[in-house]
Amino acid sequence: MPTLQPRPPTGIASGEAVPPTRVRHRVLALAVCMAAITYLDRVCISITAPQMMSDLSLSPLQMSLVFSAFTTAYGIFEIPTGWWGDRIGTRRVLTRIVAWWSTFTIATAAATSYASLLIIRFLFGMGEAGAWPNAARTFSRWFPLTERGTAQGIFFMGAHLGGGLTPLLVTALLAHVHWRAVFVIFGLVGFVWAWAWYRWFRDDPSEHHAINEAELEHIRRNRLEESAAGDPVPWKRLLKSRSVIALCLMYFTQTYGFYFYITWFPTYLKNQGFTATVLSLLSGLPLILSVLADLLGGVTTDAISKRWGLRVGRCGVGGAALALAGLAILGSAACPYPLVSALLISVAGASANFLLGASWGVCLDIAGSHAGVVSGCMNTAGQVGGTLSPVVVALVFSRFGTWTAPLYLTGILYLLGSTCWWFVHPNDRIEVTR
């Protein structure tokens, strides 16, 4: 009967060092697939909204509250689920998250009224809460300090690629099936991912059978000493941290703008008179452009951090990206040409997402073993902005009768958010290391 062989530390027998394995890259690939599935499910409802509103007799304000029901629940449960991942590990928590949200994606197809749709989308948001913080927690365990911004950028690249292609996919499906069938099809995909993740992934690299000592050493290189995973969260230091507060305010503005793209942007385009084909292409353009922005943003923040330090690499990149987004969307509001305006909005969306590697990377820089909680705090603030965005956009549009007003508001918020980066200090860790 064969016996299990221990993991070889290095190539001592041959006198040569064994090259490091690349298991962390497979971890990242699985995380990217999860990110794409989340946006597949999220963006779907913005494209099917006209049919849903017609079938369920929903007003624009009621539909905006349906959009916000997801983000409200998502924000409420973000920090508790991030803390849960810090406590028991992301293998089990992410499996539960994906299985839960897939269940309620399918349940969306069973909605028969405004009330039932509101409840289902709230439960959907409750289940998906914590996905991003637990992904960040995973990267904090599986990637060295100098690769975390890139890992986060690639992760969001997968999310936005999924979201960018979703309008085209949903439009194609709606030509053949009812909108209810679309939610069933998309919901089934998540169960396959949850099974693969739980079967293969391990919370700590040292527990994975496929990794060797060379990769373990690479992952642990430059890692700051952390408190134990079960240690209490230093809430007092966290809530008083100027860096954490500034990150939360910044992310509020970033996510406020982002939720316009995945909720009301298709309706905005329809009101501009675009054909169905052009509309489906433009609807996904902010997220398609964000695919490149995510990758370049992650690589840029790591590269600059290596050369000039975390302060410049994280805060400089984040502040500049959000300032450019603000200027682009203000330009779109002032532009009289619908196509140029739509393109500027798309550029603004990509620029606002250029900072994701920096913003989530700085959470890991200051969090230590509490990566889930700190990134959960930032993302919760973002979800407050995401919750308000669809409702505020609908109310402002109703008040002024033009899309220019909500666009101006979004641009101003972006510019205010860019100033928050001045108060962020990546070396301001919230825990006392041992």
What local confidence, expressed as pLDDT, does residue 102 receive? Answer: 92
**Res 433 pLDDT > 60:** no
Cα 237–chain centre separation: 25
What local confidence, expressed as pLDDT, does residue 14 receive? Answer: 46
What local confidence, expressed as pLDDT, does residue 6 receive? Answer: 44
CATH number at residue 119: 1.20.1250.20
Residue 148, domain member (yes or no) = yes
Distance, CA of 297 to CA of 316 (rounded, Å): 11
Residue 429, domain member (yes or no) = no
What local confidence, expressed as pLDDT, does residue 342 receive? Answer: 93
Distance, CA of 242 to CA of 249 (rounded, Å): 11
What local confidence, expressed as pLDDT, does residue 170 receive? Answer: 87
pTM of the predicted model, to two decimals? 0.75
DSSP result, 1-42 = ---PPPPP-S-TTTTSPPPP--HHHHHHHHHHHHHHHHHHHH
Distance, CA of 166 to CA of 45 (rounded, Å): 10
What local confidence, expressed as pLDDT, does residue 11 receive? Answer: 44
Q: Which domain holds residue 199?
A: 23-423
Tokens representing 125 are 């948001």
Residue 369, domain member (yes or no) = yes
Residue 129: pLDDT band by 50, 70, 90 thresholds? confident
Which residue's structure tokens are 């240690």? 231
Q: Which of 167, 201, 267, 213 lies closest to 8, judged by CA?
A: 213
**Res 61 pLDDT > 60:** yes
Of the candidate ranges 28-32, 46-50, 112-116, 209-213, the one whose mean pLDDT is the lowest: 46-50
Residue 10, domain member (yes or no) = no
Tell me the torsion sign for CA atoms 385, 390, 396, 401. Answer: positive
Residue 76, domain member (yes or no) = yes
pLDDT in tens, 394-421: 899 989 988 899 999 999 999 999 999 9
At residue 253, the 3 state secondary structure works out as helix
Distance, CA of 61 to CA of 314 (rounded, Å): 38
Residue 149, domain member (yes or no) = yes
Distance, CA of 350 to CA of 406 (rounded, Å): 18
Do residues 399 and 243 make contact, with C-beta atoms less than 8 angstroms apart?
no
Do residues 225 and 434 make contact, with C-beta atoms less than 8 angstroms apart?
yes
Residue 223: pLDDT band by 50, 70, 90 thresholds? low
Residue 293, domain member (yes or no) = yes
Domain count, the chain: 1
Do residues 255 and 355 make contact, with C-beta atoms less than 8 angstroms apart?
no
Tell me the chain's radius of gyration from C-alpha atoms: 22
Mean residue pLDDT of the chain comes to 87
Distance, CA of 282 to CA of 164 (rounded, Å): 9
Which own/partner contact pairs does 304-307 have at CB distance under 8 Å and 24+ positions apart? 305/146, 305/149, 306/146
Half-sphere exposure of 406 (CA within 13 A, CB side): 25
Quote the Cα angle for 275-277-280, to 5°: 105
Residue 353, domain member (yes or no) = yes
Residue 124: pLDDT band by 50, 70, 90 thresholds? very high
